[in-house]
Chains A and B, each alone.
Chain A
């Protein structure tokens, strides 16, 4: 990563921001806060000294642009022409094309506006008619004629909708209501009633209905005849309106051939403009210059430099500096780069946290150990194949490529271990084991798991040492719990216990314990020790606080080193568990008399094992990674590299398979 500064004339700001967006490899920083925090090292050439004067009067970019109107027009065309808008790379350009394109589109919009308004009006009309249809159909089973009930001289006929509770109130007090009420329908907690009121008492009835919070179901005035007739008339009118709408649509289709390219262009430029506007909000403006800062990967820096030079010649100053201050907050963003075998696992890493800049990307180790542990716990040819197929299905049918990718790889690993264990869909009779039968060698499995754990933890310590070495952290690297001292403590414990267990320890148990005590003491005094070596202060805070914390640290170290190792027993235990579950189902299948029923049980059992056991093993492996291993060597404080751009370049979720 390089930190880049782009400085240019205010008049070029629009074009430069478009160029950066189209280029799509700059992770933008807020220029105002960069300038204010003074951690920026502007190595401005002598001839550009006047730039420094610009820095005196810095203000943020205030966007006064509102794209919602333009967006509305484009969306209207999308709807009208039945298009599926997407960004077309051919239309992208750095120049000021946007306004012209929009102006062209607005002119067309003038022409089509009355068509779209007409369509909207007709749609509203159809909705209204459909309501009438619905209302009238409550009277279906009567021989009323619509014009009769609409034109009563002394009575008023209405259809009303009340909530059931309110209808109950009305019913219980019906003797006091100046209206004849018929119940027409009940649905969804509402009751539809027909009410007939003498016109002289209408006001009183209305007040009562208001207190019941009624909703009037309007009857159309413009139709007449029996209810069946009216329904037919309304239906005819609706289909007529629908036909009209169709005709309008067709007339529009003609235009769509001529103008859809313009719509695509406008859409592309609009998206570009919006992104550029967002970028501009992160810039700082002087009285005649602007400043843009961002991180660009080293491989891309030259590309950006050349493009800027092409468009703007010498009028733009482009500086790419090495990042010097890597402390938290200023650290450059991280872009994980892995071969395709490991790539999907990046998503599990970023769930925990991105690697900080300069920290070793744990993905390869994570991916290998994760596949190893999953396979060991869930080794089965058949079930592994199912997981593999599910993974392939997910990666090709859904947008979630990384999860599909992870499943595919885990499936393969499971199949490999299935071959080693000789297991197909749980059954161990179909093939011989290439390596070991877990259930027949319980102790070997459990001890093997512990050995695997010790190896993985050792590799974690290596990673930790490398990370501490590259960050130059003496305190943690040499004397810390995850540093050299911690590693020696771990080794002493392992070999001490091993020697004691096998009886090969000839010097007595006192020596390893003695060594461990010394190592623990070093850990307690890690800060003052590091202080003495580097010549800096002995304690960062008060010594009292420090020793309390360090004291507890000792207890935690002893506990965690032991428990971390033992934790790996679960790898063996779940491998056994996996076989055990199948044995249970197999026993059930045998108990059944019919062969088909037995096969059914085995199928259900396999589904159950893949679903439940698969999930458990997935989580347990993750737990071992996150808790037992990451705590040793991985901080995950980094920031993800997210460049501005139109296609989400660097957005790791989209491109993995």
Chain B
């Protein structure tokens, strides 16, 4: 199948769905609101989120429920896109769900580890979307091990086997790391079946994201965690675009944070670190904005490729994240002129 037939329809659909994303003025207005119910009301009356909020009484809605509904809208949008694909492409796009499912499973595992009731997470929207498992078992979990057993039959399971082997001790950190690493393995496996030019584009797009995540990981590893350089290195993602293994090795083995800073500044990713003490607060937002603009330009340069789909799903993720940030800012009474700094969208 050539790329025109494969992407013409879905890209048109994505174009129309992009039109439904929140506009700058929506962000300004949302930031000016005073309560969660007002946000819910605004989203219901004025935006495409009416799709998931139509049946809901926004007057009594609480934060957790609203957040789940917003994520639900993301699921609906992605499902709509998936319909346009077949074969290996369909299974690749479905794999993009894995990232969000892993995020939810990680949070769930930590909660279970801390003795919380897994049933409280019943409204999670992504659990099961990629793994296709019977989710009821997950929400009955008492230990992390139960979550692993519940994932039997999913693509995650084979990565988790070492965790339940032999003398297993409940360890949320290991669970989190294994799940994160499994995502890139699964993803690579799936994209290797696509057309050559799509693989190339994905290697660039996902590679840049991996670079950023690797820098963030090593930075935090050196600054906050007591991990050996070997461990830091082993937990890096091996699909970097500009930073190869040797570069990562150098970064992991840097003697001090200063040395690390110096090396990063010499790369294209120097913008992540600032000397004015804002690095920790804004690193994530800086990364995300960078990803946003990189993907935007890639979309322009690779008009008929998988990038439009890949990027659009990430844009959806950013929008969901922004709305949740805004809700949190309102909830914790952060003034609008402060709050806007935490959102990905540049307004």
CB of B229 within 8 Å of the partner chain: yes
CB of B245 within 8 Å of the partner chain: yes
Whether A177 contacts B230 by the Cβ 8 Å rule is yes
Whether B159 contacts A213 by the Cβ 8 Å rule is yes
Whether B230 contacts A216 by the Cβ 8 Å rule is no
Query: Which of B159, B231, B249, B253 contacts A207 (CB under 8 A)?
Result: B231
Contacts of A214 in B (CB 8 A): 162
Query: Which of A173, A176, A211 contacts B235 (CB under 8 A)?
Result: A211
A14 to B177, CA, bound (A): 57
Whether B162 contacts A173 by the Cβ 8 Å rule is no
CB 8 Å contact bits of A184-224 with B (1 = contact, 0 = none): 00000000000000000000100110111111101000000
Number of B interface residues in the complex (CB < 8 A)? 21
Whether B234 contacts A212 by the Cβ 8 Å rule is yes
CB of B174 within 8 Å of the partner chain: yes
Whether A176 contacts B162 by the Cβ 8 Å rule is no
Instruction: State how many angstroms separate the Cβ of B257 from the closest Cβ of chain A.
Output: 20
Instruction: State how many angstroms separate the Cβ of B229 from the closest Cβ of chain A.
Output: 7
Contacts of A213 in B (CB 8 A): 159, 162, 177-178, 181
Query: Which of A163, A208, A216, A218 contacts B231 (CB under 8 A)?
Result: A208
Flag the segment in A117-125, A164-172, A356-364 that touches B.
A164-172
Contacts of A215 in B (CB 8 A): 161-162, 165
CB of B86 within 8 Å of the partner chain: no
Whether A176 contacts B161 by the Cβ 8 Å rule is no
Whether B178 contacts A216 by the Cβ 8 Å rule is no
- Interface hits, A18-47 → B, CB 8 Å: none
Contacts of A204 in B (CB 8 A): 228
CB 8 Å contact bits of B155-170 with A (1 = contact, 0 = none): 0000101100110000
A213 to B162, CA, bound (A): 7
A176 to B235, CA, bound (A): 15
Whether A210 contacts B161 by the Cβ 8 Å rule is no
Instruction: State how many angstroms separate the Cβ of A198 from the closest Cβ of chain B.
Output: 16
CB of B313 within 8 Å of the partner chain: no
Whether B235 contacts A216 by the Cβ 8 Å rule is no
A177 to B233, CA, bound (A): 12
Instruction: State how many angstroms separate the Cβ of A208 from the closest Cβ of chain B.
Output: 5
A127 to B124, CA, bound (A): 38
Whether B234 contacts A208 by the Cβ 8 Å rule is yes
Whether B185 contacts A176 by the Cβ 8 Å rule is no
Contacts of B166 in A (CB 8 A): 216, 218
Whether A169 contacts B233 by the Cβ 8 Å rule is yes
Contacts of A166 in B (CB 8 A): 234
- Nearest chain A residue, comparing its CB with the CB of B161: A215
Whether A216 contacts B165 by the Cβ 8 Å rule is yes
Whether A211 contacts B249 by the Cβ 8 Å rule is no
Choose among A172, A211, A212, A214 the residue with the greatest number of B CB atoms under 10 Å from its CB. A211
CB of B238 within 8 Å of the partner chain: yes
Instruction: State how many angstroms separate the Cβ of A278 from the closest Cβ of chain B.
Output: 23
Contacts of A168 in B (CB 8 A): 238
Contacts of A211 in B (CB 8 A): 177, 230-231, 234-235
A227 to B123, CA, bound (A): 54
Query: Which of B177, B228, B234, B253 contacts A169 (CB under 8 A)?
Result: B234
- Nearest chain B residue, comparing its CB with the CB of A177: B230
Query: Which of A165, A170, A172, A208 contacts B228 (CB under 8 A)?
Result: A208
A210 to B227, CA, bound (A): 12
A218 to B162, CA, bound (A): 12
Contacts of B235 in A (CB 8 A): 211
A216 to B163, CA, bound (A): 10
Instruction: State how many angstroms separate the Cβ of A53 from the closest Cβ of chain B.
Output: 42
- Nearest chain B residue, comparing its CB with the CB of A210: B174
Contacts of A165 in B (CB 8 A): 185, 238
CB 8 Å contact bits of B217-250 with A (1 = contact, 0 = none): 0000000000011110111001000000100010
Contacts of A169 in B (CB 8 A): 233-234, 238, 245
- Interface hits, B89-137 → A, CB 8 Å: none
Choose among B178, B230, B253 the residue with the greatest number of A CB atoms under 10 Å from its CB. B230
Q: Count A/B pairs, Cβ under 8 Å.
A: 49
Instruction: State how many angstroms separate the Cβ of A212 from the closest Cβ of chain B.
Output: 5
Contacts of B162 in A (CB 8 A): 213-216
Whether B230 contacts A208 by the Cβ 8 Å rule is yes
- Nearest chain B residue, comparing its CB with the CB of A215: B162
CB 8 Å contact bits of A543-556 with B (1 = contact, 0 = none): 00000000000000
A168 to B245, CA, bound (A): 10
A204 to B230, CA, bound (A): 10
Contacts of B245 in A (CB 8 A): 169, 172
Whether A176 contacts B234 by the Cβ 8 Å rule is no
Query: Which of A163, A170, A173, A216 contacts B185 (CB under 8 A)?
Result: A163
- Nearest chain A residue, comparing its CB with the CB of B181: A213
A163 to B189, CA, bound (A): 13
Instruction: State how many angstroms separate the Cβ of B177 from the closest Cβ of chain A.
Output: 7
A280 to B178, CA, bound (A): 50
Whether A176 contacts B229 by the Cβ 8 Å rule is yes
A396 to B90, CA, bound (A): 40
A449 to B71, CA, bound (A): 59
Given known A173-B233, A215-B162, contact A207–B238 (CB-CB < 8 A): no
Whether A207 contacts B228 by the Cβ 8 Å rule is yes
- Nearest chain A residue, comparing its CB with the CB of B178: A213
Whether A173 contacts B249 by the Cβ 8 Å rule is yes
Instruction: State how many angstroms separate the Cβ of A211 from the closest Cβ of chain B.
Output: 4
Contacts of B229 in A (CB 8 A): 176
A214 to B185, CA, bound (A): 15
- Nearest chain B residue, comparing its CB with the CB of A178: B230
CB 8 Å contact bits of B25-58 with A (1 = contact, 0 = none): 0000000000000000000000000000000000
A214 to B231, CA, bound (A): 13
A169 to B159, CA, bound (A): 17
A168 to B239, CA, bound (A): 13
- Interface hits, A65-99 → B, CB 8 Å: none
Choose among A168, A176, A213, A215 the residue with the greatest number of B CB atoms under 10 Å from its CB. A213
Contacts of A177 in B (CB 8 A): 230
A215 to B178, CA, bound (A): 12
A456 to B265, CA, bound (A): 83
Contacts of B178 in A (CB 8 A): 213
- Nearest chain B residue, comparing its CB with the CB of A188: B158
Whether A176 contacts B165 by the Cβ 8 Å rule is no
A218 to B167, CA, bound (A): 12
A603 to B185, CA, bound (A): 50
A177 to B165, CA, bound (A): 23
A216 to B228, CA, bound (A): 22
Instruction: State how many angstroms separate the Cβ of B298 from the closest Cβ of chain A.
Output: 25
- Nearest chain B residue, comparing its CB with the CB of A190: B158
Contacts of A176 in B (CB 8 A): 229-230, 253
- Interface hits, A225-254 → B, CB 8 Å: none
Contacts of B174 in A (CB 8 A): 210
Whether A173 contacts B230 by the Cβ 8 Å rule is yes
Instruction: State how many angstroms separate the Cβ of A454 from the closest Cβ of chain B.
Output: 42
Contacts of A170 in B (CB 8 A): 234
Instruction: State how many angstroms separate the Cβ of A577 from the closest Cβ of chain B.
Output: 30
Choose among B177, B181, B229 the residue with the greatest number of A CB atoms under 10 Å from its CB. B181
A211 to B181, CA, bound (A): 10
A351 to B101, CA, bound (A): 39
A208 to B234, CA, bound (A): 8
Could you list 29 examples of A-B contacts with CB < 8 Å?
A163-B185, A165-B238, A169-B233, A169-B234, A169-B238, A169-B245, A172-B245, A172-B249, A173-B230, A173-B249, A176-B230, A176-B253, A177-B230, A204-B228, A207-B228, A208-B228, A208-B231, A208-B234, A210-B174, A210-B231, A212-B234, A213-B159, A213-B162, A213-B178, A214-B162, A215-B161, A216-B162, A216-B165, A216-B166
Q: Using A172-B249, A176-B253 as known contacts, list a sample of 12 further A-B pairs with CB atoms less than 8 Å apart, ordered by residue number in A.
A: A165-B185, A173-B230, A173-B233, A173-B234, A173-B249, A176-B230, A207-B230, A210-B231, A213-B178, A215-B161, A215-B162, A218-B166
B residues with CB within 8 A of A = 159, 161-162, 165-166, 174, 177-178, 181, 185, 228-231, 233-235, 238, 245, 249, 253
Query: Which 7 A-B residue pairings sit nearest by Cβ, starting from the closest?
Result: A211-B234, A215-B162, A211-B231, A208-B230, A176-B230, A212-B234, A213-B162
